[in-house]
């Protein structure tokens, strides 16, 4: 089977690359405060997954204010007093408010830190659940 | 055949197959090199450290549950597998490498081979 070189196909590839550049904007190119956060929703359950490698649970502070989750903490530098060959990792204090899609039950919050990822599990509060209104 | 080549070429752009270069700190003491790298999402089981032909390779894969897009409604990051290679020369004692994974931070201690360790030079004073 022969396939001939088609310059227009290359042009279309280039267009796809450019389209991807503008459509799939990765987090690096957006202005987003540290730490980076993903939200997962399933029914009345909500999961906030925070990427926070090197942050110890004891230097993290979580707070629920209204329908926002406040993540506050410090990634403590672990520098040794030695000559460095490479220094690429970043450290510092951070504070971030994550607006939740609905009000949550404050008693239901569970937070686990595992492998550098903080997972906060929340459940929708009773008041935020849809209610059927009887029509008389 | 030609179409096959073109297909693999296109696969290079597939995001799912990308491995990320994690940020690394390396410092040196008299006896060892210490390497620290941030690899969130990697467990002890999914981490592989290889020293072969003077090349150190750190690779870690992230569990599908963490990488998946299922039920995700908002995203500021996506996790990918990690891969980083270093040329270490023959200055590292491969058998003595120790690794510790804690809170998504990998600490590798690479002991220097005797050949490159600093040696104190005795100075004899002649009477």
**How would DSSP label each residue in chain A?**
------HHHHHHHHHHHHHHHHHS--GGGS--PSSEEEEEEETTEEEEEEE-TT--GGGEEEEEETTEEEEEEEE-----SS-EEEE----EEEEEEEE-SS-B-GGG-EEEEETTEEEEEEEB-GGGS-------
Task: State the nearest Cα–Cα gap between B47 and chain A, in angstroms.
Answer: 12
pLDDT of residue B1: 43
pTM above 0.80, yes or no: no
C-alpha span between B103 and B88 (Å, rounded): 26
CB within 8 Å of chain A, chain B residues 7-46: 10, 13, 15, 23-29, 33-34, 36-43
Residue of chain A with shortest Cα separation from B9 = A13
- pLDDT value at A79 more than 80: yes
Question: What number is the average pLDDT over the span A63-68?
Answer: 92
- pLDDT value at A74 more than 60: yes
- pLDDT value at A29 more than 60: no
The answer to whether B4 contacts chain A (CB < 8 Å) is: no
Which residues of chain B neighbour A80 with C-beta distances below 8 Å? 27, 29, 34
pLDDT of residue B117: 76
CB-nearest to A117 from B29, B40, B76 is B40
* Share of residues in chain B with pLDDT > 70 (%): 86
Question: What number is the average pLDDT over the span B21-49?
Answer: 94
Which residues of chain A neighbour B34 with C-beta distances below 8 Å? 80, 82
Question: What number is the average pLDDT over the span A125-132?
Answer: 85
Highest mean predicted confidence (pLDDT) among A1-15, A62-76, B3-17, B60-74: A62-76
- pLDDT value at B103 more than 60: yes
- pLDDT value at B93 more than 80: yes
Residue of chain B with shortest Cα separation from A43 = B71
Say whether the ipTM exceeds 0.85.
no
Task: State the nearest Cα–Cα gap between B126 and chain A, in angstroms.
Answer: 36
For residues B110 and B35, is the Cβ–Cβ distance under 8 A? yes
């Amino acid at each position: 089977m022969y396939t001939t070189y088609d310059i227009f196909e290359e042009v279309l590839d280039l267009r796809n690359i450019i389209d991807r550049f503008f459509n799939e904007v990765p987090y690096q190119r957006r202005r987003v405060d540290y730490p980076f956060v993903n939200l997962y929703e399933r029914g009345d359950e909500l999961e906030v997954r925070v990427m926070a490698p090197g942050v110890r649970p004891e230097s993290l502070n979580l707070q629920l204010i209204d329908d926002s989750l406040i993540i506050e903490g410090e990634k403590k530098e672990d520098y040794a007093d030695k000559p460095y060959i490479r220094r690429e990792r970043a450290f510092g204090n951070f504070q971030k408010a994550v607006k939740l899609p609905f009000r949550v039950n404050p008693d239901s919050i569970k937070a686990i830190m595992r492998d550098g990822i903080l997972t906060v599990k929340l459940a929708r509060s009773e008041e935020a659940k849809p209610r059927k209104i009887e029509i008389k | 055949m030609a179409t096959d080549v073109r297909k693999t070429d296109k696969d290079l752009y597939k995001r799912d197959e990308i491995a990320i270069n994690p940020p690394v700190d390396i410092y040196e003491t008299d006896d060892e090199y210490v390497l620290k790298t941030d690899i969130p999402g990697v467990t002890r089981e999914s981490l592989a450290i290889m020293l072969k032909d003077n090349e150190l390779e750190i690779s870690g894969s992230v569990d599908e549950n963490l990488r998946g897009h299922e039920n995700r409604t908002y995203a500021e990051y996506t996790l990918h597998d990690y891969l980083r290679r270093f040329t270490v020369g023959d200055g590292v004692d491969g058998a003595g490498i120790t690794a510790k994974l804690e809170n998504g931070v990998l600490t590798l201690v690479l002991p220097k081979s005797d050949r490159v360790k600093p040696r104190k030079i005795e100075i004899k004073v002649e009477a």
